[in-house]
Structure formats: C-alpha cells, structure tokens
Structure 1
Amino acid sequence: MISGVKRLLLFAVIATFGMSGVAQAADGVPGVDVSNWTGDIDWASVASGGGKFAFVQATEGTNYLNPSFDAQYGGAADAGLIRGAYHFAQPHESNGAAQADYFLQNGGNWVADGLTLPGVLDIEDNPYKDKNGKNSCYGLSTADMVTWIKDFTTKYQQATGRHAIIYTTTSWWRTCTGNSGKFAANPLWLARWGGDPGELPKSWKKHTFWQSAEKGTLAGGQNSFNGSESQLKELANPPAKATVSGTAKSRTTYTITVANTGPHPLKDVKISGRTFGGQRVVWARGCKFSGTALKCEVKEVPRNHKVTFTIKTRPSRSKGTVGINVTVGPVKLTLKAR
C-alpha cells in the first residue's frame, strides 16, 4: 500500500483458457456398460453394432475388484472403443477419499492415451439393504452424503486432473443429497430407463451420458453420449488448460501467475507485456525486458503446478494511472494502479 494521501487501486484479473464444454446433440453416440455379471463379451460385435464407448466396473467399496476387469477393459480398447472405469460406491463402509484411492489404484486412473474416459463414481440406491441394514442413502444424512461425494471427486481430480463422472438417478440424488447443486463441474451419467432422460438433478443443466436400458441389442447396459463422436473423443483426451491471473500490488510491482488446471503439462508458455502510463520495466526475474516491453517463457508447467512472475517498474510520474498489458496465449490481462 502507498502511504500518505495517495490511494492504491489493486486490480486482480483471472482468465481461463482450454477445454470447451460438451455440447448437446440431437442424436447420441451409442455405448455400453458392463461388469463381472455381464460375463464374456464379444467386443467386435459391440463395435460392429455401432457401439463407440464402454464403461467397465473396476471396484466396489474398498474390498471388491471385478475379476473380469482386465479382460473387459482391454477387450473394449482392442475393439477400438473408448473405455472408462467405474466405482460402485459404498458410502457407509469408508470415506470418499479412501474409496477414490482404491479406485485409482485398481483400474480407475485416467491416462492421456486418447482411449480413456474420466473415471465414474456410481452412486445410487443401496442394493444391499437386507445385508447391511442401511436405508437407500446408506444411513448417511444429506449433508454427510454431499461431503462423501465431494471427498471422492476432489481426490480423483487432484490425482488425475479430471473431474470424475457421476452416475446416479434423479430420484436418488434428490432424496440422498437434498438435490445438491454443488457438482456441476462433474459430467452427469444419468440412469433412467425409458424413452427420454426426463428431469435432471439440480447440479446439472444437461446430461453427458444416459443409461436408457438394462439390456438391449449390444452387450450390457444400453447408453448414449450426449454429443458427437468427436466430442466424445475430446472428453477422453481434452486439450491442456490453464488459469492466468494477475495483480497490481502497487504502482511499481505486478505479478502474473499461470496455473496448470488441466490434465496435461503446459508446454512452451509465452508471456508478453507492455507497460503504460509513463513507466518502464526495471526488474523481472526469468524474463527479458527493455524499456516498456517484457517477454517471459516457461518450457513446462506440470499438472497441478503454477509459475509466478514478479515485474517491477519505475514510473516517470507520481500521479495518474499506470499499469501493464499482458498476453498469455489467447488471454489478455490489463493490470493497473493509480
């Protein structure tokens, strides 16, 4: 802060660039979901029948592994299908982070191979009421269920850079989460058997996947992706994503931060800037500068990492608005103070 009668106006600017959202389409892309109960699968037949993707159960709770997972998951990929793994939640047995860890270690990890969809949290009506004595919500309150889901999805996002897909029904979501609206960032895989998806849970304005039938012409459950095949491929392997922010800390000090908020390393990040208001750059570690111009380069910003540059300037006057215009990829920021 500047002392005396002068007042500093701080401008912090944040912008994001990268992956576009999944657009809706009139006709969905067909796919299937399978588990050990499905048995042996003729994946070539699924592909020739029009199937483009498959979800395969990997885990349940923290003590069940699908014994057919490797064969089913690998078979789907060998047939040219985009595949993803899902975890059947048992919220009464352990916390969400623990079950996310178990899932990640046993088939649920996302890899950038162009064939792998984000992992799925299958959270639905308790099918073991007679065995575990719990109600449809596994004995959890709505607040505790929201916390459980948040713990799972946060752990998964931190580990992979991807938002886990959530599989659920509208009725269960309303009853067991209080129709929470806190999970809009997670793609929705809606389960509703019938001719249309119907009303969605509060968190979502659109579904990404829809399970419309338990059985059909293809092996396993019958599903569709709400978009085009190219958008399905983008969901499996989205572009890099970054958040760029900047702050005018004083008339002579500015910071620019590039944070990798996506699933891939950021490569060859270039930052350019030019001061205004009668000032010149006098210091910027790791950057080249001359007069009013500034250029910085970063070879790589790993996933979940960020890099911050501090720029110091020397104004030619003590009053009036000063600042710097900054460009990082498609993002343009204006940082100013007076």
Structure 2
Amino acid sequence: MVRNGIDVLDYQSLKNYRIGLVSNYSSVNSKGELLTDILLSKGLTLRKLFIPEHGLYLAADGMEISDFFHPKLGIPVISVYGTRDEVSCEMLEDVDLIMYDIQDVGLRYYTFIYALANMMKAAAKCGVKFLILDRFNLLGRKVFGPRMPEGINSIIGGYELPVQYGLTTGELALYYKKYLKLDIDLEIVRCENWNGEAFPETGIFWNVPSPNLPTFSSLLCYAGICFFEATNLSVGRGTTKPFEFLGAPWVDENDMYEYLKHRFPNLFCRKRQFIPQYREYAQNVCNGVEFFPKQDDNFFEIAVALFEYFEKYEEFKVDYQRLEVFTGVREFMKNKEKFLSFDLCSYLEYVEDLLLYN
C-alpha cells in the first residue's frame, strides 16, 4: 500500500518547532486519523492553522471562508482563500515551521495548489522553514493540455502549469521553487511505495478532496466536464453525481447520446434526466447524459467534442473569458484543436529534474 508523507514523518523531529499548519479535512493518515490530533498527541506545538477553499469542515462551494478562533485547539485559524491576497510576515511571527498537508487532485484549476504557492512565497519572504508532507497524484503521472499562458494567471490557472500536471504535492512545491526562484528552506517528507500509479492501484481509501468530488469517478469526469462551468449547462452540481451529469432543459438527450456514442464508441454513458437542487437550473428537469468513466477515457477530448456539439443550439451560451481561464487557450471556441495538439516538451524538460519518484 502507498504511504503518504503523513504516514512516514518522524514527528519527534519537530519537537522544537512552533508549527503553522496548512491543512483541511483531507489531512488524515492511512488510519483516518486527523493530523491536528496526531500533532497534539505527540506533544508538538501547534500555533496556527491556515485553511484553503472549503475551509476546515468541507464547506459547500461558494461559501465564504473566514478567519476564526478554533474552540477546541485554542489557536487562530486563518483563511488563505478569497479574503486576502497574501500571507504577511506578521501572521507568521510566532511560527518557525510551516507544515503543509492537503490532498489535491492533479489538475491546475484546483484552488488548493495556489494556496500552496502563496504559503511558499510567504515562507520565503519571512524566512520560515517549509515542510511538505507529500501526497501522491490521484491521477498518476499522466500529463495533458496546454501550459497556462503567463498573461492569463488566476486562482484556477497559473505558473505555466499544464491542465493535468502529473506531479505529487512535493514535486509541485519544487516546481514553484524553481519557477518563482524562491529562496526557501524546503523539506519534503516523501511518499513510500508510489511508482506513478493512479488512485485505484494504491490501496488507499478515497479521501474526499472537495464537496463536488465525492468519488474517483467524479474526478475522472471533472478533468474535462469542468470546462462547462463557463457555459449555461449544468455539470451536475446540486445532484448526487457532480460532473458525472451534463445537460440542460433545452438539450435533446437522444441526439446528444447518439453523438457521443458515434464519436466515442467505447465511452459508457446513458441518456439521463436529472434535477439539480441548487446552482444552474435548480429544481428544473435537465436533459442530457450520465457518464460512467473508465481510467482510459480522455475527458479532455470528450469535452472538446461536446463543445463542438453544443454550438448548434441557439440556447448555448459561453462565458468566453472564463473558458479561456479554464483551458489556457485564447479564443477557445475558434481554437479548440490547440487544446488537444499542444506541445508539452518544454514542460517535461522543465520538470525532469524535479521528479522524486520513478
């Protein structure tokens, strides 16, 4: 079984540090034990908690994440999502070690990875040691999609990362260190027994990374179906299967299904009506499909094909600026082929010396 950094760390080596922990509900070991509980049971000094999007308690998407005082731990909890542009040295004045342990998903539009970059920049600026408890990449070593152009940086795309970047949390930290030219004291507690495989082959339980990725199947679909959040289609938010549903009240589900089966004969999907409880088309019947993804399905290719399909509907609306931020392709609707044919050699050469695992 793969062991993440949280399972490998020698906790007694941290007994002289005042720790600022960057974590959330996903920060558990292979036994399901929470990292904050582990630190306290080892007698370590935990001074502050820093939390990304969805906060400490798996808050629903869109909820404001604010600072608060933890009632049980008796320490400040500081949001690093949405409420401030950067972490100041004043916030770190009683911390001499930042520890980072959060499960991300291996896709560049996942906001947790920008919390990592921001905390690393703060550590470099303020002279604080940074410790990563590495976590394997749920999608394995696969890399796909164009690198994000420098001029379109945002909290869902930046630092010239490709869409699917194929790095562990620790390797991504090394990427940031190199890309941002950070002078930082960085230590990585490496995973054990990981050789680039995706989640199903690791022997680990599914550690829900965010509210709308309740299963590995939802993550496989999210890779490409996420782009439709820049449109007026429902991606299944507000249902029990986010990103595994796609549709709208004005879609012809029979025609959509036949199109997909013709384009992707090995794709398993079914015609589906669904009713989102919130978000797009809340309490309305949407017509579309339900996906049953396999690991070798390429939902980036499926998404591009579906954008081509939906262009025939007069009702289909696109937020072109937001779509550009998701895909990294300027004028995506005119240049869809660039998303599928982009040359990744420059990225692979850049990260070759950063890889910690086979």
Q: TM-score, normalised by structure 1?
A: 0.26
The structure with more radius of gyration:
1
Q: Which has the higher contact order (CA 8 A, sep 6+)?
A: 1
Structure with bigger strand share is 1
